């Protein structure tokens, strides 16, 4: 493929909706039915996200070798069970830069619910091939999700990409279910993510779609939520009320986003079996089965007890881009989540002991 075309495709202002991309791009795009679910069908005006049928969707190509930023090297195998957004971009492409806030928002909103966003940085210009430049731009643009450098176009070619930016969304079985070229269609992409997160996933079998809001269905099968079904209601209290209920240290961490000192908390070395509840409201947040020794001095978990029991919020304090983790019921600050955890999620929920109350399970 001629490099001049690629340059044109990026530099030309790709229109906000897929069907309005430049004629040159459309000419090069593969047939819509086989690979472009977003293209041609989206006016982004509500409704359902156009997803490729799970039965005919192709398995996503593996990530080729490259340098990873914000993460240990990820593989699609290690991400099995998660919905994955793969965004092909390069830092000097302004169309790509325009899409980053929407991707960050997806990451912040849905990472705790089973989404991983991966940026594949495929360079167009010489200076975009220099790793230090990519790392600096990733930091200054506030990209907090994992980014893979693709200097030799191996991942780009494997996915058959033809223009920057191009977004793919993979279902939890690792199949390509959605593609969009150019800026825009952000609402559509969010709907695609939500629909794919709501799809039933047991191993790699095709299961019927369980559409609708995640976890509101109590008629069997949603085992993670049975326990909390009675008490999802938000708890809102004033600082004065919290001050009466919490210790000064709890108040500082949970209401003022403080951090306990490493290796000082009650639970970083706790290996007992049981549940970790919110120290402020008692909501079940983490289970001992997902706890691992991170060596950081804070209790670390690779997933919450239930996806909707924690909320994540982008946090740019102290000159860092991090993802804050809160109790979804009372809003208490718990800690942060980082994309460098172990399998199966690749996430590390780094939580203050003081925000937790451990309840040992009788065996
Ligand atoms: Zn709480």
Name the token pair of 257.
């986003």
Residues paired with residue 117 on neighbouring β-strands, in sequence order = 85
Ligand 1 centroid distance, CA of 93 (Å): 42
Mean pLDDT, residues 74-82:
88
| Dihedrals phi, psi of 348, to nearest 5 degrees | -130, 105
Q: How confident is the model at residue 1 (pLDDT cuts 50, 70, 90)?
A: very low
Catalytic residues: 350
Task: Give me ligand 1 centre to Cα 123, in Å.
Answer: 44
| Spacing, Cα 237 to ligand 1 middle (Å) | 11
Distance 79 CA to ligand 1 centre (A): 28
Q: How far is the CA of 233 from the centre of ligand 1 (A)?
A: 11
Distance 326 CA to ligand 1 centre (A): 8
CA of 311 to the centre of ligand 1 (A): 11
Q: So what's the pLDDT on residue 115?
A: 94
Residue 113 confidence (pLDDT): 87
Span 47-63, mean pLDDT? 84
Rounded distance from Cα 37 to ligand 1 centre (Å): 40
Model pTM above 0.85: no
Instruction: Identify whether the C-beta of residue 116 lies closer than 8 Å to the C-beta of residue 63.
Output: no
What pLDDT does residue 20 have?
A: 34
Quote the CA–CA distance of 276 and 348 in Å, as a whole number. 16
pLDDT band, very low/low/confident/very high, at 154 (cuts 50, 70, 90):
very high
Say if residue 44's pLDDT is above 70: no
| Cα separation, 123 vs 134, whole angstroms | 9
As a whole number, mean pLDDT of residues 56-69 equals: 90
Kindly state the average pLDDT of the residues 209-234: 40
How far from 241 is each of 79, 246, 287, 326, CA to CA, in Å?
42, 9, 28, 18
Kindly give, in sequence order, each residue whose CB lies less than 8 Å from that of residue 27, ignoring residues fewer than 6 positions away: none
Q: Tell me if 13 sits within 8 A of 157, measured CB to CB.
A: no
pLDDT score of 77: 86
Burial class (CB in 10 A: 0-12, 13-18, 19+), 103: buried
Asked if pLDDT for residue 15 goes beyond 50, the answer is: no
**Phi/psi of residue 41, each to 5°?**
-115, 0
Distance 335 CA to ligand 1 centre (A): 13
Q: What is the pLDDT of residues 283-329, one digit of tens each?
A: 999 999 999 999 999 999 999 999 889 999 888 887 888 899 999 99
């Amino acid at each position: 493929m001629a490099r001049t075309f690629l340059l044109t495709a990026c530099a030309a202002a790709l229109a906000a909706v897929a069907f309005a991309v430049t004629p040159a791009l459309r000419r090069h795009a593969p047939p819509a039915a086989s690979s472009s679910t977003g293209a041609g069908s989206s006016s982004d005006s509500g409704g359902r996200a156009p997803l490729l049928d799970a039965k005919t969707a192709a398995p996503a190509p593996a990530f080729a070798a490259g340098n990873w930023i914000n993460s240990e090297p990820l593989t699609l195998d290690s991400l099995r069970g998660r919905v994955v957004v793969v965004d092909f971009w390069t830092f000097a492409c302004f169309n790509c830069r325009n899409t980053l806030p929407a991707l960050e928002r997806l990451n912040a909103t849905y990472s705790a619910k089973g989404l991983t966003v991966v940026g594949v940085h495929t360079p167009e210009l010489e200076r975009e091939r220099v790793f230090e430049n990519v790392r600096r731009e990733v930091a200054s643009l506030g990209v907090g999700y994992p980014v893979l450098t693709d200097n030799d176009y191996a991942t780009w070619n494997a996915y058959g990409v033809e223009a920057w930016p191009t977004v793919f969304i993979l279902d939890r079985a690792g199949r390509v279910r959605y593609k969009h070229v150019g800026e825009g269609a952000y609402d559509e992409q969010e709907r695609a993510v939500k629909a794919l997160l709501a799809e039933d996933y047991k191993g790699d079998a095709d299961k019927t779609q369980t559409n609708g809001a995640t976890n509101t269905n109590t008629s069997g099968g949603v085992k993670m939520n049975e326990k909390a079904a009675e008490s999802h209601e938000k708890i809102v209290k004033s600082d004065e009320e919290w001050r009466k209920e919490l210790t000064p240290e709890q108040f500082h961490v949970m209401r003022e986003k403080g951090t306990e000192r490493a290796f000082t908390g009650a639970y970083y070395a706790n290996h007992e079996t049981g549940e970790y509840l919110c120290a402020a409201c008692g909501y079940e947040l983490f289970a001992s089965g997902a706890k691992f020794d991170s060596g950081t001095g804070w209790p670390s978990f690779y997933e919450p007890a239930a996806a909707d029991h924690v909320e994540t919020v982008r946090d740019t304090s102290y000159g860092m881009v991090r993802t804050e983790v809160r109790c979804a019921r009372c809003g208490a600050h718990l800690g942060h989540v980082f994309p460098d955890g172990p399998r199966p999620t690749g996430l590390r929920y780094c939580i203050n002991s003081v925000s937790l109350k451990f309840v040992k399970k009788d065996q």
